[in-house]
């Protein structure tokens, strides 16, 4: 899904009639402790078979290829050559505008207050402006609010909400560093434009109320992330903290998406658990087909909400580093 999504971003202007997602290929370096070795080697072999080019380095090779990293606790590293990052806000806006051009009807600023299942399938959607909209098929893709909406059709979805932070730093006088995820220390880092870089944690966080949570990052949270990245890349001590923010992840028990039909004609796509953006283009194509009653890739069934009751968890990630599933 991630591979196919990158291909979609490469064609983004064509797909969105001139929109931009600002895809930038930086490569991504994953630093692993020794205990991840067997799992990493198996994953890298599988990904290379799928056409995702990844190189493995031992600490000596890593020090030669990427100087400047303090390699304490690192047993091996994987470098995904063609990885990169894109602009989520720009991508969302461009896709939204194109959807409207193609006939989607926006209802911005209107809250969905509940669903009333309809005889024969689908539901009537109640909104905060007093409207009742009868729909033959409904897709719930409301992120942190999905579980509450699922409850209105009698389904308790296995989703929780977590508050996660991102700290922003200016390079200052420090030389820029390769984008990387440190699974030994538990953080990720990527550039943000030419002057900044972002750092966030890889581990689960405290649960939050989606209607009332602190959106600002605290000084203590910035300091914790700064200490981690300076410990790994000492020259970044010369960079400068410039703020950050907090937002929400909707999280499933195995940190993989929850996708499927939860009532006749009512479908869900949620629980992408911090890695939804990289999967969204390819998953979105399959979810759209599902909601329209068209044929989907058989693999989509692996994300069914019923998998938890049936003992079919999609365990992914490495130890407590769940976001990189």
Distance between CA atoms of 57 and 76, rounded to whole angstroms? 6
- Report which DSSP code applies to 318: B
pLDDT of 130? 94
Q: At residue 325, does pLDDT exceed 60?
A: no
Contacts of 325 (CB under 8 A, 6+ apart): 254, 255, 256, 273, 275, 314, 316, 317
Distance between CA atoms of 235 and 262, rounded to whole angstroms? 51
Contact by Cβ (8 Å): 267, 139 = yes
- Mapped onto helix, strand or coil, the DSSP state of residue 232 is helix
Q: Which residues pair with 260 in a beta bridge?
A: 268
Q: Could you tell me which residue, 270 or 278, shows the higher pLDDT?
A: 270
CA distances from 68 to 202, 203, 231 (A): 22, 25, 11
Mean pLDDT, to the nearest integer, of 219-225? 97
116-148 confidence digits (pLDDT tens): 999 999 999 999 999 999 999 999 999 999 999
Q: What is the mean pLDDT of the chain?
A: 94
Q: At residue 320, does pLDDT exceed 80?
A: no
pLDDT of 6? 86
- Mapped onto helix, strand or coil, the DSSP state of residue 64 is helix
188-200 confidence digits (pLDDT tens): 999 998 899 999 9
Looking at 169-183, 231-245, 277-291, which range is the least confident one? Answer: 277-291
Q: Which two tokens stand for residue 9?
A: 């971003």
Mean pLDDT, to the nearest integer, of 220-228? 98
Q: Which two tokens stand for residue 107?
A: 């209802």
Q: What is the DSSP string of 14-30?
A: HHTTS-----EE--EEE
pLDDT of 1? 83
């Amino acid at each position: 899904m991630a591979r196919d999504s990158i291909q979609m971003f490469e064609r983004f202007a064509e797909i969105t009639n001139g929109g931009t997602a600002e895809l930038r290929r930086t490569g991504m370096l994953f630093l692993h402790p020794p205990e991840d070795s067997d799992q990493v080697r198996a994953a890298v072999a599988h990904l290379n078979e799928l056409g995702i080019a990844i190189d493995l380095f031992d600490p000596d090779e890593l020090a030669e290829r990427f100087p400047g990293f303090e390699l304490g606790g690192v047993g091996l590293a994987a470098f995904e050559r063609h990885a990169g990052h894109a602009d989520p806000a720009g991508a969302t806006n461009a896709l939204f505008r194109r959807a409207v051009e193609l006939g989607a009807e926006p209802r911005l600023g209107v809250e969905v207050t509940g669903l009333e299942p309809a005889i024969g399938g689908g539901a009537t959607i109640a909104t905060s402006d007093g409207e009742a909209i009868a729909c033959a098929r409904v897709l719930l893709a409301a992120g942190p609010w999905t579980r509450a909406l699922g409850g209105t059709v009698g389904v308790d979805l296995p989703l929780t909400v977590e508050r996660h932070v991102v700290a922003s730093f200016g390079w200052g006088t420090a030389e820029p560093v390769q984008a990387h995820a440190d699974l030994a220390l538990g953080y990720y880092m990527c550039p943000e434009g030419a002057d900044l870089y972002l750092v966030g944690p890889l581990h689960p966080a405290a649960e939050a109320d989606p209607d009332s949570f602190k959106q600002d990052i605290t000084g203590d949270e910035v300091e914790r992330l700064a200490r981690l990245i300076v410990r790994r890349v000492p020259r970044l001590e010369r960079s400068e903290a410039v703020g950050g923010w907090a937002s929400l992840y909707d999280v499933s028990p195995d940190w993989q998406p929850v996708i499927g039909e939860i009532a006749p004609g009512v479908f869900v796509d949620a629980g992408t658990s911090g890695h939804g953006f990289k999967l969204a283009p390819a998953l979105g194509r399959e979810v759209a087909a599902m909601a329209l009653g068209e044929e989907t890739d058989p693999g989509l069934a692996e994300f069914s909400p019923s998998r938890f009751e049936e003992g079919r968890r999609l365990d992914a990630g490495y130890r407590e580093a769940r976001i990189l599933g």
